Structure 1
Amino acid sequence: MQILLKDEKLDFTNFLFVALMIFVFSGVGGFVYETIFYKLAWGYFVKRGTTFGPWIPIYGVGGLCMTLSIWRWQKNPLAVFLISFFVCGILEFIVGFFLFHGMNIRLWDYNTEPWNFGNIAGYVCLRSVLIFGLFGFLLFYGVIPAILSIKNHLPKSLFRFISCLLASAFIADIIIHMILKGMSHF
């Protein structure tokens, strides 16, 4: 299987290591966005996300969903925006709905947040999906080319090591948080 990302053909193995970096960069990007947004909206800093590190898992998953959904249309900026808008909006709604109705967890609630026009049951709003559309644009025209440039300038084994190290730290952070959160219920 070959995937063309920004004029570079990647076999499955190379794509996997690039995807790990997309997961990490998207998670960090979501953390930065939410930190800035809530500082502007509420006037003070709030540690966003459920992990200890500077990343938010749903943004990492969203970055991967965007990549897998868009790569065939990456040369069409409008398609990149619209697919990101819809794919991540649907992801946010499904995850929010499942967490609330399946696990009785509410990680976000647009009913109580500023600038929530187009709010659907607190799970998704127009602001969030517009941001996801912009993130898709940034991902395909900024982040992925930067990741590919790093990949091409580093020895293959070093790029793979860095990809695994960063993704492992992110995933371990998620698992540790889930274990500790689970212990707090007893």
Structure 2
Amino acid sequence: MYHYTAIQWLFFFYFYCFFGWCFESTYVSLKSRKLVNRGFCRGPFLPLYGSGAIMMLVVSMPFQDNLVLVYIAGCIGATVLEYVTGVTMEALFKVRYWDYSKNKFNFQGHICLGASLAWGGLTILMTEFIHKPIEHLVLSIPDSILTPVTLVLTALIGADFALSFKAALDLRDVLEKMEKAKEDMLRIQKRLDVIIAVTSEDLENRREGFSDSLAQKKEDFTASITTRVEDLKSNIEGKLESFRTSAQKSPNQYLESVKNEVAELRQKYTRSVADRENVSSLRDFFQRDMIRSNPTMSSEKFKEALEELKEHSNKKNE
């Protein structure tokens, strides 16, 4: 059984946060062939590794004399921790900081069988080999030194986490604003389609077609969310230019109310494009660093917007 003070438990947590950062950053940097400051925080700490290490120590305490039970406890404990953390972070920030969707036997992309089995092995490695010399080192440090050092680390890491948390929330807001601008453009495109249809020569046929498809409009709009923004912009600009050319050639073909509505749609489109470009420029360093530090970050709902932000972030960092 582990008999540590609260300060010692806290120091172990910080130590393994740092150890995890060293391991993860080295692995990702070698894989990417460039230096990557991996993780959620800006400093050299990965809270998930610290939490995982403490979890391993806690769940293995009742079974220290039985490696099989230590392994099983590690598998279960780490899987629960990883799932709860993944679901919570996605609910808060609308992105996934890791994703097992491409792995076999995964559940919702947050956990997978391979990772769970590996966690069990790491729990044995942790309790039998890694932690023992670390424990000996930490217990040899006098309380008069360990306590102030731990309190200073608490202040520094707490401030770092607060800044990183805010950056992640701000990044979520950027993604939502980019998606809203895209949805506004989709509505503009739909309205232009209707205007062009009802003012064309085959008005009656088009009206019949629109009447039959009213029930599918919501479904069609949802499906059109997958349209790429650049294709959407090109489509809208083409329709606006076509209407402008047609109105110049045959000014009496369109009612004044139709011309005014198209002019209003043009203004809305211009604002939507400007708003999207403004929020996607990523002027905030912490938001750019959050993306750079998590190259595997993904989002099903904001996939295109997130990829665009990654591209902008890479250009600014270069």
TM tier, smaller? 0.7 to 0.9
Change (3 A) 1:177 1:137: same
Distance 2:156 2:129 in 1: 23
Q: Which amino acid aligns with 1:123?
A: H
Please say if 1:158 is aligned against 2:145: yes
Distance 1:142 1:26 in 2: 14
Please say if 1:79 is aligned against 2:69: yes
Tell me how far 1:58 sits from its aligned partner.
1.7
Change (3 A) 1:102 1:120: same
Higher helix share: 2
Q: What corresponds to 2:165 in structure 1?
A: 178
Q: Which amino acid aligns with 1:176?
A: L
Please say if 1:49 is aligned against 2:39: yes
Distance 1:91 1:111 in 2: 18
Is contact 2:93-2:168 (8 Å) kept?
no
Distance 1:128 1:83 in 2: 14
Please say if 1:131 is aligned against 2:121: no
Deviates more, 1:69-78 or 1:96-105: 96-105
Q: Which amino acid aligns with 1:170?
A: I
Equivalent of residue 136 in structure 2, options 114, 131, 149: 149
Distance 1:98 1:76 in 2: 33
Change (3 A) 1:47 1:170: same
Distance 2:138 2:16 in 1: 17
Distance 1:50 1:156 in 2: 30
Q: Which amino acid aligns with 2:150?
A: S
1:20-66 residue CA offsets vs partner (Å, 9 max, x unmatched): 12212332333234334445666655432111122211222222222
Tell me how far 1:174 sits from its aligned partner.
1.2
1:50-83 residue CA offsets vs partner (Å, 9 max, x unmatched): 1112221122222222222221212322222221
Structure 2 residue matching 1:53: 3-state secondary structure = coil
Q: Could you say which structure has the greater relative contact order, defined with CA pairs below 8 angstroms and 6 or more residues apart?
A: 1
Deviates more, 1:44-53 or 1:90-99: 44-53
Tell me how far 1:97 sits from its aligned partner.
1.9
Name stretches of at least 5 consecutive residues in structure 2 with no aligned partner. 175-318
Distance 2:164 2:86 in 1: 18
Change (3 A) 1:88 1:150: same
Change (3 A) 1:82 1:146: same
Is contact 2:101-2:109 (8 Å) kept?
yes
Deviates more, 1:161-170 or 1:40-49: 40-49
Structure 2 residue matching 1:164: 3-state secondary structure = helix
Is contact 1:21-1:147 (8 Å) kept?
no
Is contact 1:25-1:60 (8 Å) kept?
yes
Q: What corresponds to 2:97 in structure 1?
A: 107
1:63-122 residue CA offsets vs partner (Å, 9 max, x unmatched): 22222222121232222222111111111112212322455232211225xxx3332221
Is contact 2:56-2:127 (8 Å) kept?
no
What is the TM-score when the length of structure 2 is the normalising length? 0.47
Kindly name which structure, 1 or 2, has the bigger radius of gyration based on alpha carbons. 2
What is the aligned-residue RMSD (CA, Å)? 2.7
Q: How many pairs does the alignment contain?
A: 173
Structure 1 residue matching 2:98: 3-state secondary structure = coil
Identity rate of aligned residues, in percent? 23
Distance 2:144 2:24 in 1: 33
Is contact 1:117-1:126 (8 Å) kept?
yes
What is the TM-score when the length of structure 1 is the normalising length? 0.75
Deviates more, 1:50-59 or 1:125-134: 125-134
Q: What corresponds to 1:30 in structure 2?
A: 20
Equivalent of residue 97 in structure 1, options 75, 87, 109: 87
Tell me how far 1:173 sits from its aligned partner.
1.7
Distance 1:118 1:49 in 2: 25
Change (3 A) 1:24 1:143: farther
